[in-house]
Amino acid sequence: MTVRRGDIILANLPFTDGRGSKVRPALVVQSDHNHQRLDDVILAMITSTNQRAAVESTQLLLDIATVVGQQSGLLHNSTINTHPNLNPRD
Q: Which of 83, 80, 86, 79 lies closest to 16, judged by CA?
A: 86
pLDDT on residue 83: 77
Tell me, yes or no, whether 68 lies in a domain. yes
Tell me, yes or no, whether 57 lies in a domain. yes
Q: How many Cβ atoms sit within 10 Å of the Cβ of residue 62? A: 21
Specify the number of domains making up the chain.
1
Tell me, yes or no, whether 1 lies in a domain. no
Tell me, yes or no, whether 87 lies in a domain. no
C-alpha 66/C-alpha 71 separation (Å) is 9
Average pLDDT for consecutive 10-residue bins of the chain (90 residues)? 87 84 91 73 88 85 92 92 64
| Residue 54: Cβ-neighbour burial (10 angstroms; 0-12, 13-18, 19+) | exposed
Beta-carbon contacts of 25 under 8 Å, excluding residues fewer than 6 positions away, are 8, 9, 10, 11, 46, 74, 78
pLDDT on residue 87: 57
Domain that holds residue 71: 8-81
Tell me, yes or no, whether 28 lies in a domain. yes
pLDDT on residue 4: 86
pTM of the model: 0.78
